[in-house]
Amino acid sequence: MKIGFIGLGNMGAPMASNLLKAGHELTVFDLDQAAVDKAVTEGATAADGLGDISTGDVELIITMLPAAQHVRSVYLGEDGLLASVARGVHLIDSSTIDPMTAREVAARAADQGNPMLDAPVSGGTGGAQAGTLTFMVGGEDEEFAFARPVLANMGKNIVHCGAAGNGQVAKMANNMLLGISMIGAAEAMSLGVAMGMDPEVLAGVINTSSGRCWSTDTYNPYPGVIETAPSNRGYTGGFGMDLMIKDLGLATEAAKTARQPVIMGALAQQLYQGMSFEGHGGLDFSAIIKRYLKEPE
Amino acid sequence: MKIGFIGLGNMGAPMASNLLKAGHELTVFDLDQAAVDKAVTEGATAADGLGDISTGDVELIITMLPAAQHVRSVYLGEDGLLASVARGVHLIDSSTIDPMTAREVAARAADQGNPMLDAPVSGGTGGAQAGTLTFMVGGEDEEFAFARPVLANMGKNIVHCGAAGNGQVAKMANNMLLGISMIGAAEAMSLGVAMGMDPEVLAGVINTSSGRCWSTDTYNPYPGVIETAPSNRGYTGGFGMDLMIKDLGLATEAAKTARQPVIMGALAQQLYQGMSFEGHGGLDFSAIIKRYLKEPE
Amino acid sequence: MKIGFIGLGNMGAPMASNLLKAGHELTVFDLDQAAVDKAVTEGATAADGLGDISTGDVELIITMLPAAQHVRSVYLGEDGLLASVARGVHLIDSSTIDPMTAREVAARAADQGNPMLDAPVSGGTGGAQAGTLTFMVGGEDEEFAFARPVLANMGKNIVHCGAAGNGQVAKMANNMLLGISMIGAAEAMSLGVAMGMDPEVLAGVINTSSGRCWSTDTYNPYPGVIETAPSNRGYTGGFGMDLMIKDLGLATEAAKTARQPVIMGALAQQLYQGMSFEGHGGLDFSAIIKRYLKEPE
Amino acid sequence: MKIGFIGLGNMGAPMASNLLKAGHELTVFDLDQAAVDKAVTEGATAADGLGDISTGDVELIITMLPAAQHVRSVYLGEDGLLASVARGVHLIDSSTIDPMTAREVAARAADQGNPMLDAPVSGGTGGAQAGTLTFMVGGEDEEFAFARPVLANMGKNIVHCGAAGNGQVAKMANNMLLGISMIGAAEAMSLGVAMGMDPEVLAGVINTSSGRCWSTDTYNPYPGVIETAPSNRGYTGGFGMDLMIKDLGLATEAAKTARQPVIMGALAQQLYQGMSFEGHGGLDFSAIIKRYLKEPE
Query: Rounded to whole angstroms, how far apart are CA atoms C171 and C102?
Result: 13
Asked if pLDDT for residue B297 goes beyond 70, the answer is no
Residues of chain D in contact with residue B273, where contact means CB-CB under 8 angstroms, are 255-256, 259-261
Asked if pLDDT for residue A32 goes beyond 90, the answer is yes
* Mutation site for B-interface testing, chosen from D252, D257, D278, D291 by largest number of B Cβ within 10 Å: D252
* Closest C-alpha among D151, D81, D144, D101 to residue D123: D151
The alpha carbon torsion through A70, A74, A78, A82 (nearest 10 deg) reads: -140
Domain with CATH 1.10.1040.10 in chain A: 168-292
For chains B and C, count residue pairs whose Cβ atoms are closer than 8 Å: 7
Q: Could you report the per-residue pLDDT of D147-165, keeping only the tens digit for each?
A: 999 999 999 999 999 999 9
Of A259, A267, A276, the CB nearest to C259: A276
Domain with CATH 1.10.1040.10 in chain D: 169-292
Per-residue model confidence (pLDDT) at position B245: 98
- Confidence band of C296 (pLDDT split at 50, 70, 90): very low
- Confidence band of A296 (pLDDT split at 50, 70, 90): very low
Right CATH for A168-292 from 1.10.1040.10, 2.60.120.200, 1.10.150.120, 3.40.50.300: 1.10.1040.10
Q: Inspect the interface and report whether the beta carbons of C273 and A256 lie closer than 8 Å.
A: yes
Contact criterion met (CB below 8 Å) for B141 and B160:
yes
**Average pLDDT for C159-171:** 98
Query: Rounded to whole angstroms, how far apart are CA atoms A268 and B267?
Result: 11
**Average pLDDT for B77-102:** 95
Residues of chain C in contact with residue A244, where contact means CB-CB under 8 angstroms, are none
Provide the percentage of residues in chain A whose pLDDT is more than 70: 99
CATH hierarchy code of domain B2-163? 3.40.50.720
The CA distances from residue B52 to B5, B56, B63, B81, in Å, are 12, 6, 15, 10
User: What length is written for chain A?
Assistant: 297
User: What length is written for chain C?
Assistant: 297
Asked if pLDDT for residue D118 goes beyond 80, the answer is yes
Residue A181, number of CB atoms within 10 A of its CB: 33
Q: What angle do CA C236, C239, C241 make, to 5 degrees?
A: 85
Asked if pLDDT for residue D249 goes beyond 60, the answer is yes
Query: Rounded to whole angstroms, how far apart are CA atoms C294 and A288?
Result: 37
Asked if pLDDT for residue D191 goes beyond 60, the answer is yes
The CA distances from residue C148 to A217, C95, C144, C291, D290, in Å, are 63, 17, 6, 42, 37
Question: Residue A143: what residue type?
Answer: E
Contact criterion met (CB below 8 Å) for A259 and A252:
no
Q: Inspect the interface and report whether the beta carbons of B256 and D273 lie closer than 8 Å.
A: yes
Q: Give how far C221 is from chain D: nearest CA, Å.
A: 13
Q: Inspect the interface and report whether the beta carbons of D256 and B262 lie closer than 8 Å.
A: no
Q: Inspect the interface and report whether the beta carbons of B263 and D260 lie closer than 8 Å.
A: no
Name subunits touching D (3+ CB pairs < 8 A): A, B, C
**Average pLDDT for D241-255:** 97
Asked if pLDDT for residue B292 goes beyond 90, the answer is yes
Q: Give how far A225 is from chain D: nearest CA, Å.
A: 23
Residues 6+ apart with CB under 8 A from C109: C75, C82, C91, C115, C116
When the pLDDT of each residue in chain A is averaged and rounded to a whole number, the result is: 95
Catalytic positions of B, written as ranges: 171
Residues of chain D in contact with residue C218, where contact means CB-CB under 8 angstroms, are 210
Residues of chain B in contact with residue A192, where contact means CB-CB under 8 angstroms, are 169-170, 172-173
Residues of chain B in contact with residue D269, where contact means CB-CB under 8 angstroms, are 266
User: What length is written for chain B?
Assistant: 297
**Average pLDDT for D73-77:** 96
A77-86, B42-51, D149-158: range with highest mean pLDDT = D149-158
Q: Give how far D292 is from chain A: nearest CA, Å.
A: 8
For chains C and D, count residue pairs whose Cβ atoms are closer than 8 Å: 251
ipTM of this complex: 0.95
Per-residue model confidence (pLDDT) at position B19: 98
**Average pLDDT for A130-135:** 96
Contact criterion met (CB below 8 Å) for C248 and C257:
no
State residue B100 phi and psi, 5-degree precision: -65, -50
Q: Could you report the per-residue pLDDT of C192-230, keeping only the tens digit for each?
A: 999 999 999 999 999 999 999 999 999 999 999 999 999
Per-residue model confidence (pLDDT) at position C54: 80
Instruction: Point out which residues pair with D121 in neighbouring strands.
Output: D135
- Confidence band of A51 (pLDDT split at 50, 70, 90): confident
Using beta carbons and an 8 Å cutoff, which residues of D are at the interface with B? 245, 249, 252, 255-256, 259-263, 266-267, 269-271, 273-274, 276-277, 281
Q: Give how far D47 is from chain C: nearest CA, Å.
A: 36
Name subunits touching A (3+ CB pairs < 8 A): B, C, D
Per-residue model confidence (pLDDT) at position B195: 97
| 3-class secondary-structure state, position C169 | helix
**Average pLDDT for A248-255:** 97
Q: Among A156, A171, A246, A256, which one carries the catalytic annotation?
A: A171
Q: Inspect the interface and report whether the beta carbons of C261 and A249 lie closer than 8 Å.
A: no
Per-residue model confidence (pLDDT) at position C216: 98
Query: Rounded to whole angstroms, how far apart are CA atoms A147 and A155?
Result: 12
CA-derived radius of gyration, chain B:
21
Q: Inspect the interface and report whether the beta carbons of B277 and D262 lie closer than 8 Å.
A: no
State residue C92 phi and psi, 5-degree precision: -130, 125
Of C259, C262, C273, the CB nearest to A259: C273
Per-residue model confidence (pLDDT) at position D297: 42
Burial class (CB in 10 A: 0-12, 13-18, 19+), C52: middle
**Average pLDDT for A185-213:** 97
Provide the percentage of residues in chain C whose pLDDT is more than 90: 92
Per-residue model confidence (pLDDT) at position A199: 98
Instruction: Point out which residues pair with D157 in neighbouring strands.
Output: D134
* Mutation site for A-interface testing, chosen from D183, D190, D264, D277 by largest number of A Cβ within 10 Å: D277
Q: Where are any strands of DSSP class E within B127-214?
A: 133-138, 155-162
Q: Inspect the interface and report whether the beta carbons of D202 and C261 lie closer than 8 Å.
A: no
Per-residue model confidence (pLDDT) at position B55: 74
Per-residue model confidence (pLDDT) at position B296: 45
If phi over 0 gives left and psi between -120 and 50 gives alpha, with beta otherwise, what is residue B7? left
Q: Could you report the per-residue pLDDT of D12-35, keeping only the tens digit for each?
A: 999 999 999 999 999 999 999 999
Per-residue model confidence (pLDDT) at position A295: 64
Contact criterion met (CB below 8 Å) for C256 and C250:
no
Q: Give the nearest chain C residue to D269 (CA atoms).
A: C264
**Average pLDDT for C4-25:** 97
Provide the percentage of residues in chain C whose pLDDT is more than 70: 99
Structural fold of domain B169-292: N-(1-d-carboxylethyl)-l-norvaline Dehydrogenase; domain 2 (1.10.1040)
Contact criterion met (CB below 8 Å) for C292 and C187:
yes
> Is there a catalytic annotation at residue A171?
yes
Per-residue model confidence (pLDDT) at position C59: 96
Asked if pLDDT for residue D221 goes beyond 90, the answer is yes
Per-residue model confidence (pLDDT) at position D296: 45
Per-residue model confidence (pLDDT) at position D295: 63
Of C267, C274, C294, the CB nearest to B291: C274
Q: Among D21, D38, D156, D171, which one carries the catalytic annotation?
A: D171
Q: Give how far C172 is from chain D: nearest CA, Å.
A: 8
Name subunits touching C (3+ CB pairs < 8 A): A, B, D
Per-residue model confidence (pLDDT) at position C124: 87
Q: Could you report the per-residue pLDDT of A257-293, keeping only the tens digit for each?
A: 999 999 999 999 999 999 999 999 999 999 999 999 9
Contact criterion met (CB below 8 Å) for B106 and B139:
yes
Instruction: Point out which residues pair with B22 in neighbouring strands.
Output: none
Per-residue model confidence (pLDDT) at position B27: 96
Domain with CATH 3.40.50.720 in chain D: 2-163
Pairing of strands A2-6, A133-137: unpaired
Using beta carbons and an 8 Å cutoff, which residues of B are at the interface with D? 245, 249, 252, 255-256, 259-263, 266-267, 269-271, 273-274, 276-277, 281
- Confidence band of B295 (pLDDT split at 50, 70, 90): low
The alpha carbon torsion through B215, B221, B223, B225 (nearest 10 deg) reads: -10
Q: At what angle do helices C166-194 and D166-194 cross, to 10 degrees?
A: 170
